[in-house]
Structure 1
Amino acid sequence: MASIAQASATISDLQIELSTYWMQNSSEITTQKQAHTTAELATNLILERTGLGSTLAKNTVPASTTTTTAGSTTTKSAHRDPVDRLEKHILDYIHHCTQHVKKVAETRVQLAKAQMAEFKALEDFEQIATPSQWNIHVLLKPKMKAWSTKNKNYRTVLKRIERTTSRGRRQQSRTNLHPDSDQITGRGFLAPAIINQANIKLTEQEHQLLKLGPRFIFDDPKTASRRRTTELATLKRKLEARFFEKKVSPGRPVEQFIAELDVLLQNLHNIPTTKKQIKSNKIQTNKSFDTLSSIIQSSQSSQSQTNIRPRKKKNYGRIVKRLKYKIHLANTVLRKTDKSKVFHLGTVDHYQKKSEEYMEKTKAYQCLGVADPLPDLIQRTNKYLLDLRLAKWITQKQYEQLSIKPNEVELAHLYYLPKAHKPGPPLRPIISGLKHPTIKISKFLDDLLRPLFDQMALNSTVTSGFDLVKQLRQWSRNHLKQETLFCTIDVTDLYTMVPQIEGVLSLKKMLDQLKLKQVGGLKVETIIRLSRLVMTNNYFSYNGQFYHQVRGGAMGSPLTLTISNCYMYFFERQIVNQIRNSGGLYFRYIDDIFITINWPVRHLLKEVDRWNKFDENINLSANIGSTVNFLDLNMENQDGQLFTTVYQKPSYEPYYLPFNSIHPLHMKKNIPFAMLIRAIRYCSTFQLFLNEREKLRMALLLNKYPNKIIDKQFNNVLSKFEINEPLTSMNYNKSRQKIIDSPIKEKLLANYEKSIFVHFTYCSSMKTFPIKFHILWEKYFDKSPINEVTPILGTRNVDNLQRRLIYTRSMTS
């Protein structure tokens, strides 16, 4: 403002000086003209009186005139040219500096005209409106104003976040054009949404697509429409079965219900987005005020489905096809990372090298070449089950449940997930065998045995960081001291290193300890035989070769987890007794162990070395200190006081399911709700909670969650636990204790006799489908023989980006 005032004063001074100069210059020119005229008249008079010839007069006068005029013109031009240039520059400068003022003035004039027109329209409406119409206007006015303010605030926050992230990315690109995994970690919100280790060149559209993450689903009504016929046929069979249970013929109600439901789904799957539809929407909004209330109610219930924006949609399908082709040509492997769950682009050579190193280190896999073991495996599995059936070790029902058909099975395949949070990065092997010949037996045994293990190991295992928080809080009240140590231990390659025979025998030890001779109608010996069949017949394909796993279990087979847990349970018995006899705390989650004890560091390290000699198959690597991380929990001992908070691995990405993903709304609402409950349970102080809450809010905003939904779900957390006031430093500890002590509600088992499950493929146009479905159900079956059956409506999703982009069967796919 000061510079503008100074410039204005300078311009005023120049204008005054210029006007003064012109006044002086004009008076001089006038005097010269008057003198010249007087001289000319005098000369003519003298010539007339002296009688000189006219020729002399003619020759003299023009010469004098020419001389005088030339002199005056030269004098005038010499002064005028620089003045003209100065005046032009000043006018241009004034025009440039006042242009924004002109625009502001024009905008204000236009705004004033619009307000005047709006005011006149409001006066006209007030005169002709009915009381109900005027009430609707009064109701909508503050809501529209509030919506405008919140929308403006949201856009402001979004722009700030975009500026921050883009600044971080620009800085990253300047400092390092080819980052490796070591440099990627630990940057919080500025960490990349994808890890492009292969340095493949991506277009902006392809980069934005991968940033949406593996779980993102784009709108695909065509797929939903293709599945409609099959889904309706399945529902029809279920309805007919329920009628037959009542010994009643389904009749016309079922046919009419399915037909009307088919029409409803067709309309939802084929909502047009053409200019014609947009025009019809505009016409609909211009209806008379007599129907305004009904329009508002219908728009609220339909979640504004008909308000289609006239802008071009992204063709995600085309981008996916182009990206798949580019990845294939670039000899690149696309995977989801092991922990952070974002996309990772690596080279085929890197995966091949790491795979060979892993197989050489573990020596758990035997290469069979190109001979497919699947036909022989199918035959041996069915024969083994038949022998058990003939020996009456399993029932006919169990035999039919576990036997396999050749056209329903396929061999498992091996693939790797990159551990992006570690240097290298190393790879985690996954054997995918959803249709493997032994998968039915594996799942059947795991369903029988896992509840028994959970019961046996209840006092030495945890299932989450929250379980450890409760145990640690209780222990620290009497045992936590300034010198108390925290220790976390990792078991190296547990699934692969557990011996197959000894692992199966650990199941027998468990059943003997629980004094069980039968489980689910199966004898202990039958369980052991079937478990050995599963563990010793892990075959898979990888990169065109077939392999047999001769050590450990397949990571992906359900029974492998239970066997590994049982093996570790009997390995750790001596350690658990030693720690607890010394007043310490010991808990394990699969291959992660947590210990806290009042021992010197040297003594604890010595004991860890001694434990490493218990079993050559179990290798323990320990991390000891006053601050440790276990699962998603960070613990710190500050002078004998316990502090806990949420732990985020170095590979942490601020990634949640994007809000614009085509998932049902309740799934997306549950994310901020569950994450805030975790923050309250884990954060031991109010300040730690505030920090975690703001991190969560920023991460959700980055994933396009509206601030209104975030705030509402945060408030729902307090409402669920009957906390009637906002959290403050004064009431935080009390409220947190209430949340921690609240029992976790167990899932209610569905009553299958009085429930029928219905699933349809979800797309963006189906937000109002549940309401319409239940209306149709009541219309046709409210007074039918199956009126006590409750329909439970579920959704099926179309393929997400992980399924569309990632192939795990071959390195070159």
Structure 2
Amino acid sequence: MWFDEGQKQEEKSKTIWQGKLNWLNEYENNFGSEVFVKSNITTPSNRLQKPRKRVEGSARISNSSPQNEHYRSEITGLWWRERKRKKQRQNVQERAKSDDSKQRRNIQENARINQTDNQVNPKVINLSTIDLSNNEVNLLSKGLKFTPTPNGNKAEHQTDIKEFCRKLRLSEIFHKDEEAQTTEDMPLVRNKTGWNPPKSKDKVLEEVIQSLKEYPTDSNASIKGNLSKNSKTALKTLLDNTSLIIKEADKGGAVVCMDKKYYRDKILEMLSDTSYYESIDEHADSRTQRLIHDTINKYGKGLMKEEKDYLLNFEYTTSYFYGLPKIHKSKIIADELKKQNSEYIKVPIPDDVPFRPIVGGPNSVTQRLSHFLDIILKPFCEEVPSFIRDDLDFLNYLPEQVEENSTLVTFDVISLYTNIPHDLGLEAVRFWIEKIPGKIETRFKIAFILKSLQIILQNNVFYFDGRFYVQKKGTAMGTRVAPTYATLVLGYLEETLYNNIKHRYSSEFASYLRLNWKRFLDDCFLILNKKINALEFLQELNKLHPSIQFTCSENDVIMPSLDILVKKSGNSIKTDMYCNADARVY
């Protein structure tokens, strides 16, 4: 019995001593170890000499008993082991801090090296001859995505609620029919109808709809506007100034102000390039509509009536053309940025600013046919080995471990959309359809797909400054199928690349490339062994087609790709979020 009691007391003392150790460790962390060393702290042996309460029927444990000596030895060992572990932890933490500091220095150094002299820092760049007031500059510095507090529109609010309630009833009526149908029984597209369904038998649904309709739609006058009186005056002044054009910069998010004549002359200079654009009469869209109608009648026998109705029966409008100033490409603006060093700079009428061409037209004559083809062809993108959907998909493909003797390389296609020849694009699409015919329904014939795609590529009509133009070369800008089309074209060229690499280097490297070469549209990423020279590999890429040319960037430590920052440390790969210096969030 006395031995059992002694064991209990021993366990109790161990618990108390462990608590003391924890206190000592906390004390050292806060005040250092000198006080601890000089203090007259009761040792385990002294603590053991304190009298214990005797339990009736038990014998007193002698301080010199074997059990007590064993206890003293175990506690002392525990104390020193804890001290040793703490020292080891501190050493590990110090090494980790040192490594992290070194990594941060490498990142900062590479960021400094890769930083361009043309980086856009100002919020407002005035390229016009008009002097902007302080209030106008302050308003524009909020960015073109800034939205003033809107005034309440009761009629619009009620219309939105009514349309939402209609969609709720339609979903309740048709969801069971859609579940019963197979994918092949359902049309890929259909026109919207104006049918207003009757009240549902579902009481809960009707209660929700009734609550929505009874929701107050009066505007809340107590909501404070986000524009001051001076800002509202500045906004009206800018709106009334018809000689001023305001656009967002192609990169950097800065707001760019230009004289209307300067902007018009720049765009017309771009459209005068007859290798890409051609002036055309205003009846081009009507001819394209008839061509689509004839193609569907001739090649679209397998289309459902809802699909034919969607492709043929709609009101279209001609697309419009505009340009975004590439101020990061201008040497004149770059020099002024260094001189003025301000969020607002003025550089009147620089002559070296290029523009990015953009076609906007959600209701163009070919837009619905383009949307239809995009639905048909998009499944083939998943069969392209290099294809990635987005940032998360890119992360899934990144390895955790790589060869230490490797480097991070990104490749970019120069002006991909405008440089894809039509014959190359049609050849690429045919290749994927014939290679994997099971990806599309049998009712869609190759002749229909290729003829429809040809119509979209050759009839991209738009207007600017009262004149109509047609795009002669490259992917049709602003069309829905463009990203899918470009992905399949590069995927087709990559099949040639894998074969060339097999003969140029080895089958092993060709297999590695097929698994690890990843691409989002024209942005490519590869972890390349240093035995393979990146510039020599770039030459192999540029041999694929004379119109499709690549550039590359290489770094041993850090490399951004999409919105991901890829970091290599030894043979380990880590990632972080990446915010492009040219993309500022408002």
TM bin, normalised by shorter chain, reads 0.5 to 0.7
Q: Which of the residues 454, 462, 468 maps onto 1:546?
A: 468
What is the CA-CA distance between 1:616 and the residue it aligns to? Answer: 1.4
SS at match of 2:431: helix
Structure-1 separation of matches of 2:472 and 2:282:
17
Find the counterpart in structure 2 of residue 418 from structure 1.
325
Mapping 1:279-678, distance limit 5 Å: 314=229, 319-326=234-241, 328-329=242-243, 332-348=244-260, 351-352=263-264, 354-355=266-267, 358-359=270-271, 363-368=275-280, 371-388=282-299, 392-405=301-314, 408-423=315-330, 425-453=353-381, 455-457=382-384, 459-474=385-400, 477-481=401-405, 484-516=406-438, 518-519=440-441, 521-576=443-498, 578=501, 581-582=508-509, 583=512, 585-599=516-530, 603-626=533-556, 627-635=558-566, 637=568, 642=573, 644-653=575-584, 655-656=585-586
What is the CA-CA distance between 1:589 and the residue it aligns to? Answer: 1.4
What is the CA-CA distance between 1:541 and the residue it aligns to? Answer: 0.9
Distance 1:581 1:431, change over 3 A: farther
Structure-2 separation of matches of 1:617 and 1:401:
35
Indicate conservation of the 8 Å contact 1:420/1:651, yes or no: no
What amino acid sits opposite 2:295 in the alignment? Y
Distance 1:360 1:568, change over 3 A: farther
Indicate conservation of the 8 Å contact 1:393/1:526, yes or no: no
Structure-2 separation of matches of 1:249 and 1:620:
59
Structure-2 separation of matches of 1:351 and 1:422:
16
* Match status 1:207 vs 2:137: yes
Q: 1:144-198 CA distances to partner (integer Å, 9 max, x unpaired)?
A: xxxxxxxxxxxxxxxxxxxxxxxxxxxxxxxxxxxxxx87626xxxx32333333
Distance 1:205 1:574, change over 3 A: same
What is the CA-CA distance between 1:618 and the residue it aligns to? Answer: 0.7
SS at match of 2:544: coil
What is the CA-CA distance between 1:376 and the residue it aligns to? Answer: 2.6
Mapping 1:152-163, distance limit 5 Å: none
Structure-2 separation of matches of 1:605 and 1:241:
58
Structure-2 separation of matches of 1:493 and 1:446:
21
Indicate conservation of the 8 Å contact 2:418/2:474, yes or no: yes
What is the CA-CA distance between 1:560 and the residue it aligns to? Answer: 1.6
Indicate conservation of the 8 Å contact 2:322/2:357, yes or no: yes
Q: 1:440-477 CA distances to partner (integer Å, 9 max, x unpaired)?
A: 11001101211221x202x3123344544453443xx2
Mapping 1:61-140, distance limit 5 Å: none
Q: 1:261-288 CA distances to partner (integer Å, 9 max, x unpaired)?
A: 5664343x1x345xxxxxxxxxxxxxxx
Structure-2 separation of matches of 1:563 and 1:444:
13
What amino acid sits opposite 1:320 in the alignment? L
Shift >6 Å, 4+ stretches: 242-248, 253-260
> Matched residues, percent identical?
22
Find the counterpart in structure 2 of residue 749 from structure 1.
none
Structure-2 separation of matches of 1:258 and 1:379:
44
Q: 1:217-261 CA distances to partner (integer Å, 9 max, x unpaired)?
A: 222133x3241342244346457768988997679x999998875
Distance 1:248 1:567, change over 3 A: closer
Q: 1:281-307 CA distances to partner (integer Å, 9 max, x unpaired)?
A: xxxxxxxxxxxxxxxxxxxxxxxx7xx
5+ residue gaps, structure 2: 1-115, 177-196, 331-351
Q: 1:407-434 CA distances to partner (integer Å, 9 max, x unpaired)?
A: x211111112233444354322211121
Structure-1 separation of matches of 2:253 and 2:324:
10
Structure-2 separation of matches of 1:464 and 1:411:
32
What is the CA-CA distance between 1:393 and the residue it aligns to? Answer: 3.9
What is the CA-CA distance between 1:646 and the residue it aligns to? Answer: 3.9
Find the counterpart in structure 2 of residue 265 from structure 1.
216
SS at match of 1:558: coil
What is the CA-CA distance between 1:498 and the residue it aligns to? Answer: 0.9
Which structure features the higher share of helix residues?
1
5+ residue gaps, structure 1: 1-181, 274-304, 657-813
Indicate conservation of the 8 Å contact 2:565/2:576, yes or no: yes
Indicate conservation of the 8 Å contact 1:404/1:437, yes or no: no
Structure-2 separation of matches of 1:221 and 1:520:
53
Give the paired residue count: 417
Structure-1 separation of matches of 2:564 and 2:199:
58
Indicate conservation of the 8 Å contact 1:632/1:647, yes or no: yes
Distance 1:272 1:347, change over 3 A: closer
Structure-2 separation of matches of 1:597 and 1:478:
10
Structure-2 separation of matches of 1:511 and 1:312:
55
Indicate conservation of the 8 Å contact 1:365/1:547, yes or no: yes
Structure-2 separation of matches of 1:363 and 1:215:
35
What is the CA-CA distance between 1:322 and the residue it aligns to? Answer: 2.0
What is the CA-CA distance between 1:360 and the residue it aligns to? Answer: 6.2
Mapping 1:123-272, distance limit 5 Å: 185=119, 191-198=121-128, 200-222=130-152, 224-235=153-164, 237-238=166-167, 264-267=215-218, 269=219, 271-272=220-221
SS at match of 1:557: coil
Structure-2 separation of matches of 1:351 and 1:649:
27
Indicate conservation of the 8 Å contact 1:538/1:553, yes or no: no
Indicate conservation of the 8 Å contact 1:587/1:595, yes or no: yes
SS at match of 2:453: helix
Structure-1 separation of matches of 2:566 and 2:169:
57
Structure-2 separation of matches of 1:635 and 1:248:
56
